[in-house]
């Protein structure tokens, strides 16, 4: 494909592999670098141009948009497979089914995938399938794998993870209450789920559902189970789709789904009764890194749009091009700083997962979960403002990116929950720090004595009965 | 020394070397790790307790405070030398005189030095001597080295870098105008300098002075020279010291100095006439990293104080300890996130310098120059607020740390200058990005044609003479 | 209508008239207070419940949504007229056609109108008709008034103001280039306009169009003219509608319109050839106040939703209701502070217009133009975050309010333009302030002499040849 | 005095009385306007030039600085008395002893007093004497008034309010524990106080002390009493003074004071045993408005310095004067917006107090208590940054102003306490708002039925067993 796509410096294009932060380079294999460059080209030359085609093939009409299956995505998938850009997300140290990259290496690729609406699905690296495939591959029985994993890994079907419920505060997952009752060899499911992302797509065949199977268990984290449910099971109804800051995200979409006496055979249980929390927690870690790196890529694209606007010769308010306005350059610089710092935080978290596991990287993951979406929104806001009316309209991808970015502050736990957890963990150091500071003060007193000095305040001003003399 | 100092986790102390971010570990030698742990112990057990002693030995009185030479600092220096903690800042790949660490490795140590007022000087790693030693070692003649370098490396004398001038906007160094005129084998210096940091100290014997030696040179960056000036040269007068947000930083201090017909032999010229900019730019890079890492350490210490306060059983407003107030934990979390992201950015910049040089790491250095001090001030502000009155007073180190932190947004170029430079460099990508986006749109049009679709806007609504029919 | 609607305090409902800030009360007539209370009831009891009906009657489908004319709006208009809530926006001191209120009084009412999607149109106080009616009433010929003003004042037709153009930086209106050429008694218009808000509505019959009629006039502010154009004039085409952060705002909408050889009789010129800037500037002042006060109302409604969520007994993350989380109360407090300060700023600006005119209130208007939308977005963001998924979805009005709020930072001039103008005006004081500070310093020197003191710096520390003695 | 002082516009000086926001004018008498203009001239022409003299007369040395009594302040007091600028703070509707102005009118004057270090004391309007005089005048017995009030009103002595204690979280005043025990006709006081502002001054003769007189009272707000204590009572010792972000605020200062068996006759009790909270709350309201308006004045002065710098012809970084850098103008504009909005909020609160009392104005007072200091710090930060090194040094008043501003976020209750209280009060509306929103939704359902529509979601998409067909 033609060269001009990738020109982005005064001296020609610098490939993605050369832009890896120096601190991360020891963790990237030569093979991953080559793939990374391929991902960049695929995204810039194939996926981004296809995004608008995808939108147009999705069409119009509430129902029709969700029934649509844009042809372009299948063509992209075929190209991606041919290029070997497929299932890069499955980390090599845990799964044999993937492309053999580490979380860090995939993280670098995910940044580029995040620049396009179609790129993640085109490479079979789209949420929530990625996490769902990890669940089945990691915790699934052979039978479960046989039924679902191949089709998912092959991009033939899609899946949804059904956790959040509208009637409770599901930011605290112990509140989840979809009823699971045993009836012989079956579980009977009753309740409702929303924010079932991906459920709009006609190809979404598998629901991974969290429910309450043992409500009276004294351990609040043992009351839940996770079960695999075929989307065509009788009793399941998609009632409506949810919009996200005005966008319907069709055909993928976010479903509001009811369960009415839905019978699921017990062989579909994942990991075992009462182990829902275990499944959920194992699933979330890498997924958050993927989201975060895609968000870094979105931010880079927003900055690219911002820079393009600043240099658009047609846009000259008050006789100067936009880049001649110092305040615009200051915003560019701030964006550059924030994006670069965020990327490093995500890569560090990815390495932590690679070297141990998501549980050990809890702090690092929570940090980027909070930091990155806010950064993305800030960068987007500056770009939007530089575009004026065009920035909020359909004429740039910025508005839709903002919509996705905003939800990132809510999905997989709102900022507040992560902050509270981070704050609590950090606070555990408090008592020992109090002791340390006291010990240091005691040492100071010893030293003062050693030097023949009295403890004395810098503003020592002894006045006895101070008002007595003027 | 006793153990309690370093307890800071629920399960005892985690040494500094184990807290190195995973992403940075491949760059740290075993020897550096050991030294790092030693630095931590030295700072926590020796330097921090000595800080208050240092303050008290500095004493009272405008003149007396600058004449003071606190005994404790020499004792600390002796201990540090004995421990091998000396001149760690001189990067191994450029200087044979140092302790043999990389910028990255020293950066990790500098974080701990930044937790104490005395630690940097105690290990002969204090600014501005560090940068000044680099200048003499890198650009100095053998004679210059003989005269100054040994004494500096040995911690016998101190030095100042005289660049900024009160009467001009010296954030733009081409404005600097201290007059340098040749008179036979001598340069005659006339003018004034301020923010000559370190000049207050009686042991400050060497001034490295930037002046204008060739004002009519058409190249604005060739008009300046840098020259070594002995502080006892006749014609030099310290007129006064400058305060920093209320603090005098004695005995170190920040001098306002006048030069009246100061004669300096031409053999003191550094690098050559008209090469002042070269010297200055070579000097600033690593120094900014040192500042930044010390600031990260300051922020960690601020957070430690914050956490100690939250767990002080005596502080129970409204019946709850401070850590039970969710807003405090949220601020702890935000601080944790910001500190960790900043550290990674600084370490990445240090590695960039290590692998190439400061000039190539310009972007990375500018980024942390802006990012880190703002982060430090934010963390400090939260800690101060948690302490209330104690936070602004002399009873915690927070107020003085804030004062230093605030100046970091100004010294070595104010935020605005770095942002402008960053913005301008980033903006160079603009025209090619504009072209790329256009090329991607052209590709979209091709694809639409391929799929038999017409270019159509999502909100296409053709109405001709729209008011004609209702 | 039933009481429960308006209960909003522990002791029952406090009517709007009693919540007027004390500082504004001297400016509000008894009649306005009564009308204000009526507006509040009408909005809370009639309009807000009708908002969802309006949305449903607008229906689905790109074209159909703009062709729709929701029945409920006409019913609301009939009710409003009957209650005397009609055309309150036309300020009494300039227009005899309105309801006889001042800008301040209407401003108070506009706050309540801003809480509902339908309320402004229901009372014939909707933008852009309000500004357009002002233009025709103020600058129109008798003939122009006869043709358009009655129908507009009566709510029979709607109108659009066509200024912004896609191909230029129209934040600087001198860039506007729709071509107007004279041809006998006619003007021939060629060019395109976008963000023609309201143009989607089938009832939009009048376009007030700004174009360039005298491109070679040396005075850049005399090149433009404003002309009234009937929407059914041949050569006009609505090409498409623009979306706003994902919303289409149908049936009102924002049009992208082309003009191809559109012939308009010269009798439609407003105020006179070359006086376009005059018309535009006269139009914008009060409109910005209306927008600002409606935004204050939106913010109040967002806060109401926020508070309702905090007290929803079904939402108990981590065992506590949301209002028991201190961070939520802190955000409520911050919102309260910001809303109240913004309201005062808007009311002060309105009074300034009332007592003089919009031109004299330029500073005050620019201030609220910038301040209020940012405040609204901040309040909305907090409310959205408290609602989690529901906050970004269609289940609360918050997402759509955010979309509108975001555009407020762009329409009628982006923040940056207003800030620059404000900054420049304020900067005019600079030279005289420099002089004043110098004069004050001179006086200080006189006083020091008077008291027998020498000018002395607080950190005076005279050291001659400072390095000479230790 | 000479004219140049007050020139601050391109067309000459606009007197303070003409700059009163239009919305506040109905509340200002002609006499107050005249006095306001006089205050402005007195501050600009007499006090500001005297500030540096005051500093120099305070001199050097920890003890000496607090023993100093700068002559210039007495000369200013004499001038102020002659001009009738004396005790303007005592509100006319509550006290006959003052100058006869309302809180609003004095508020306008306080803004100008806030521009100078000496102006408040020069006009006998300095904290904490103002609040202390109010306490004695309002709650004092005739005997108490005779002993203290005259001397205070006459500016002969000064006073301190001793409330905060170092060992508890005194942001919650119920924690205060200075022990008061009855012994016949005497109270015996034991304990310690800090942040006793003004106690450094040799002329500070009266301490108003809050202590715990009834620790076992079940009502936590009845355990405290307030008592008048002569500063020369045996057993009182000033142990040291506290610094504020590096400044000692001498000779005024902030004392750390111990009480050891201090005997005070029961006739000195204020209002009655156990009524301490009542006294404290009555005292704080207007004082917070005074602080807030002085802070507005400080912010105006910071902006004046900022503007002066922008126009200093000597400061030309990168070939442009500072005002030519757009980012500087943007910061000026932002400062202008924030100052103006803050002023209106303070004035509105003052009127609320005037029309009722401080208790009824609790919300308004809390709002400005939080809003104004943050605004002041933001404006100061921008000005400091524009000055670079000069901004943090003693060469501008900015650093000291920042120090005072920072403490304003802590004194009289830290931000967090006020926010919590504001949030809680606002939250009381929550349950009724929840009901209202429910009622509005019910009405919507009625309307839908009326129009023959079914309740339908905008993204209704019924799919039963959705996976069954592709």
- pLDDT one-digit tens code per residue, C364-385: 999 999 999 999 999 999 999 9
Q: Which residue of A has its CA nearest to D230?
A: A467
The arrangement of secondary structure in C16-126, i.e. its CATH architecture, is Orthogonal Bundle (1.10)
Q: Hey, what are D246's tokens?
A: 């590096």
Q: What is the pLDDT of residue C80?
A: 98
- For A271-288, what is the mean pLDDT? 89
Say yes or no to pLDDT of C359 above 90.
no
Say yes or no to pLDDT of C297 above 70.
yes
Minimal CA separation from B227 to chain C, in Å: 17
CATH topology of domain C159-270: Butyryl-CoA Dehydrogenase, subunit A; domain 2 (2.40.110)
Q: Which residues of A touch C420 (CB under 8 A)?
A: 318
| Average pLDDT score over chain C | 94
Rounded-to-5 percentages of helix, strand, coil across chain B:
55, 15, 30
The whole-angstrom separation of Cα A205 and Cα A155 is 12
Beta strands at D254-265 and B158-162: parallel, antiparallel or unpaired = unpaired
Put simply, the answer to whether A232 touches D461 (Cβ < 8 Å) is: no
Put simply, the answer to whether A464 touches D239 (Cβ < 8 Å) is: no
- For A321-352, the pLDDT digits (tens) are 999 999 999 999 999 999 999 999 999 999 99
Q: Please say whether the beta carbons of A81 and B461 come within 8 A.
A: no
CA distances in angstroms from A42 to A76, A79, A121, listed in the order given? 9, 9, 13
Minimal CA separation from C21 to chain D, in Å: 7
Q: What is the pLDDT of residue A467?
A: 82
Q: Please give the CATH superfamily to which domain D8-126 belongs.
A: Acyl-CoA dehydrogenase/oxidase, N-terminal domain (1.10.540.10)
Put simply, the answer to whether D439 touches C8 (Cβ < 8 Å) is: no
Put simply, the answer to whether B308 touches A26 (Cβ < 8 Å) is: no
Residue in A199, A206, A234 nearest the CB of D465? A234
Q: Which residues of A touch D243 (CB under 8 A)?
A: 458-459
Prior bond of D79 cis (ω within 30°): no
CA B33, B39, B42, B45 torsion: positive or negative?
negative
Residue in C384, C388, C400 nearest the CB of A171? C388
Question: Looking at A169-219, which runs of residues are DSSP E strands?
Answer: 179-183, 186-197, 204-212
- For C11-58, the pLDDT digits (tens) are 578 999 999 999 999 999 999 999 999 999 999 999 999 999 999 999
- Contact residues for C18 (Cβ-Cβ < 8 A; gap 6+): none
CA B457, B460, B462, B465 torsion: positive or negative?
negative
Minimal CA separation from A414 to chain B, in Å: 13
Minimal CA separation from B259 to chain D, in Å: 20
Say yes or no to pLDDT of A1 above 50.
no
Put simply, the answer to whether C230 touches B467 (Cβ < 8 Å) is: yes
Q: Which residues of A touch B394 (CB under 8 A)?
A: 457-459
- For D345-355, what is the mean pLDDT? 96
Q: Hey, what are D245's tokens?
A: 């972000």
Q: Hey, what are B189's tokens?
A: 């210096």
Q: What is the pLDDT of residue B385?
A: 97
Residue in B245, B392, B410 nearest the CB of D388? B410
The SS3 call for residue B105 is helix
Considering the four listed CATH numbers 1.10.10.10, 3.40.50.2300, 3.40.190.10, 1.20.140.10, the one that applies to the domain covering A277-413 is 1.20.140.10
- Contact residues for D133 (Cβ-Cβ < 8 A; gap 6+): D87, D90, D97, D149, D152, D153, D159
The whole-angstrom separation of Cα D304 and Cα A293 is 45
Instruction: Specify the DSSP class assigned to residue A146.
Output: I
Least confident range from A48-52, A182-186, B61-65, D6-10: namely D6-10
Q: Which residue of B has its CA nearest to A350?
A: B23
Minimal CA separation from B5 to chain D, in Å: 24
CA distances in angstroms from A125 to A104, A150, A297, D329, listed in the order given? 15, 14, 15, 47
Put simply, the answer to whether A310 touches B345 (Cβ < 8 Å) is: no
The strand pairing partners of D183, in sequence order, are: D186
Put simply, the answer to whether C237 touches B462 (Cβ < 8 Å) is: yes
Q: What is the pLDDT of residue C404?
A: 96
Put simply, the answer to whether C237 touches B470 (Cβ < 8 Å) is: no
Say yes or no to pLDDT of D179 above 50.
yes
Q: Please say whether the beta carbons of C113 and C43 come within 8 A.
A: yes
Phi-psi category of A388—alpha, beta or left, where left has phi over 0 and alpha has psi -120 to 50?
left
Is the CATH number of domain A158-270 2.40.110.10? yes
Q: How confident is the model at residue D3 (pLDDT cuts 50, 70, 90)?
A: very low
- Cβ-Cβ pairs closer than 8 A, B with D, add up to 139
Minimal CA separation from C335 to chain A, in Å: 18
Per CATH, the number for C276-413 is 1.20.140.10
Q: Hey, what are C422's tokens?
A: 């404000």
Per CATH, the number for A7-126 is 1.10.540.10
Q: How confident is the model at residue C5 (pLDDT cuts 50, 70, 90)?
A: low
Residue in B167, B384, B403 nearest the CB of D314? B167
CA distances in angstroms from B358 to B16, B348, B424, D262, listed in the order given? 26, 12, 19, 65
Rounded-to-5 percentages of helix, strand, coil across chain C:
55, 15, 30
Mutate to test the interface with C, among D52, D296, D394, D460 (most CBs of C within 10 A): D52
Would you list the DSSP string of C262-319? EEEEGGGBSSSTT-HHHHHHHHHHHHHHHHHHHHHHHHHHHHHHHHHHHT-TT--GGG
Segments of chain B scoring below 50 in pLDDT:
1-3, 470
Per CATH, the number for B12-126 is 1.10.540.10
Q: Which residues of C touch A391 (CB under 8 A)?
A: 410
The whole-angstrom separation of Cα A349 and Cα C214 is 62
Q: Please say whether the beta carbons of D341 and C342 come within 8 A.
A: yes
The whole-angstrom separation of Cα B132 and Cα B209 is 11
- For D126-143, the pLDDT digits (tens) are 999 999 999 999 999 999
The whole-angstrom separation of Cα D96 and Cα D153 is 12
Q: Which of A412-416, C285-289, D182-186 has the highest mean pLDDT?
A: D182-186
Q: Please say whether the beta carbons of C85 and C72 come within 8 A.
A: no
Minimal CA separation from B184 to chain D, in Å: 33
Task: Name subunits touching C (3+ CB pairs < 8 A).
Answer: A, B, D
Q: Which residues of B touch A2 (CB under 8 A)?
A: 439
Residues on chain A bordering chain D, Cβ-to-Cβ distance under 8 angstroms: 62-63, 66, 199-200, 202-206, 230-243, 248, 325-327, 330, 457-468, 470
Residue in A241, A248, A460 nearest the CB of D240? A460
The whole-angstrom separation of Cα D51 and Cα D59 is 13
Mutate to test the interface with D, among B200, B389, B390, B404 (most CBs of D within 10 A): B389
Which of A27, A197, A39, A185 has its CA nearest to residue A112? A39
The whole-angstrom separation of Cα D55 and Cα C456 is 10
Share of chain D above pLDDT 70, in %: 97
Per CATH, the number for B275-413 is 1.20.140.10
Q: Hey, what are D110's tokens?
A: 């306080």
Q: Which residues of C touch B202 (CB under 8 A)?
A: 470
The residues spanned by each domain of chain B are 12-126, 159-270, 275-413
Minimal CA separation from B173 to chain D, in Å: 8
Q: Where are the alpha helices (DSSP H) in A311-388?
A: 326-355, 362-387
Say yes or no to pLDDT of C387 above 70.
yes
- For D388-404, what is the mean pLDDT? 96
Q: What is the pLDDT of residue B3?
A: 42
Which of D302, D290, D345 has its CA nearest to residue D21? D345
The strand pairing partners of C158, in sequence order, are: C204
Q: What is the pLDDT of residue C3?
A: 41
Phi-psi category of D412—alpha, beta or left, where left has phi over 0 and alpha has psi -120 to 50?
left
- For D352-361, what is the mean pLDDT? 91
Put simply, the answer to whether D307 touches C440 (Cβ < 8 Å) is: no
The whole-angstrom separation of Cα D40 and Cα C129 is 46
CA distances in angstroms from A24 to A100, B426, C226, C366, listed in the order given? 18, 22, 60, 48
Minimal CA separation from A413 to chain D, in Å: 24
Q: What is the separation of C-alpha B229 from the centre of its chain, rounded to a whole number of angstroms? A: 24
Q: What is the pLDDT of residue A469?
A: 57
Q: Hey, what are C188's tokens?
A: 């021939």
- Cβ-Cβ pairs closer than 8 A, A with B, add up to 287
Q: Please say whether the beta carbons of C159 and C132 come within 8 A.
A: yes
Instruction: Specify the DSSP class assigned to residue B267.
Output: G
Q: Which residues of A touch B333 (CB under 8 A)?
A: 370, 418-423, 426
The whole-angstrom separation of Cα B202 and Cα C470 is 6
Q: What is the pLDDT of residue C268?
A: 98
Q: Which H or E run includes C354?
A: helix C326-355
The strand pairing partners of B197, in sequence order, are: B254
Q: Please say whether the beta carbons of D371 and C337 come within 8 A.
A: yes
Q: What is the pLDDT of residue B460?
A: 86
- For C237-246, the pLDDT digits (tens) are 999 999 999 9
């Amino acid at each position: 494909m033609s060269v001009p796509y990738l020109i982005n410096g005064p001296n020609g294009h610098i490939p993605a592999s050369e832009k890896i932060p120096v601190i991360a380079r020891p963790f990237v294999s030569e093979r991953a670098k080559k793939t990374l460059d391929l991902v960049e080209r695929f995204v810039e030359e194939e996926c981004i141009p296809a995004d608008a085609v995808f939108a147009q093939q999705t069409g119009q009409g509430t129902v029709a948009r969700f029934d649509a299956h844009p042809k372009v995505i299948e063509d992209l998938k075929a190209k991606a497979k041919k290029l070997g850009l497929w299932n890069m997300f499955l980390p090599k140290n845990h799964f044999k089914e993937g492309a053999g990259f580490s979380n860090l290496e995939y993280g670098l690729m995910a940044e580029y995938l995040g620049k396009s609406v179609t790129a993640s699905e085109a490479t079979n690296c789209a949420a929530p399938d990625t996490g769902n495939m990890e669940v089945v591959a990691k915790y699934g029985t052979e039978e479960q794998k046989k039924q679902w994993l191949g089709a998912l890994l092959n991009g033939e079907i899609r899946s949804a993870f059904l956790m959040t419920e509208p009637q409770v505060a599901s930011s605290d997952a112990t509140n989840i209450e979809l009823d699971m009752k045993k009836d012989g060899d079956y579980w009977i499911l009753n309740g409702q789920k929303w924010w079932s992302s991906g459920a709009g797509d006609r190809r979404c065949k598998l629901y991974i559902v969290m429910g309450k199977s043992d409500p009276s268990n004294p351990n609040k984290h043992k009351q839940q189970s996770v079960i695999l449910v075929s989307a065509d099971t009788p009793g399941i109804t998609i009632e409506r789709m949810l919009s996200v800051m005005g966008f319907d995200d069709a055909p993928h979409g976010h479903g509001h789904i009811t369960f009415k006496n839905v019978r699921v055979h017990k062989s579909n249980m994942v990991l075992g009764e009462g182990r829902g929390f275990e499944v959920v927690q194992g699933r979330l870690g890498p997924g958050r890194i993927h989201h975060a790196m895609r968000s870094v890529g979105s931010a880079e694209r927003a900055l690219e749009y911002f820079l393009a606007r600043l240099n658009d010769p047609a846009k000259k308010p008050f006789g100067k091009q936009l880049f001649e306005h110092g305040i615009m350059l200051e915003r560019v610089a701030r964006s550059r700083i924030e994006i670069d710092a965020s990327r490093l935080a995500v890569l560090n978290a990815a390495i932590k997962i690679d070297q141990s596991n998501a549980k050990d990287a809890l702090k690092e993951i929570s940090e980027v979960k909070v930091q990155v979406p806010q950064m993305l929104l800030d960068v987007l806001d500056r770009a939007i403002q530089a575009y004026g009316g065009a920035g909020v309209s359909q004429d740039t991808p910025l508005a839709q990116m903002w919509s996705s970015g905003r939800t990132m502050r809510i999905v997989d736990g709102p900022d507040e929950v992560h902050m509270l957890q981070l704050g609590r963990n950090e606070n555990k150091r408090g008592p020992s720090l109090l002791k340390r500071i006291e010990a240091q003060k005691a040492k100071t007193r010893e030293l003062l004595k050693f030097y023949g000095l009295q403890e004395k305040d810098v503003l020592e001003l002894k006045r006895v009965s101070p008002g007595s003399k003027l």
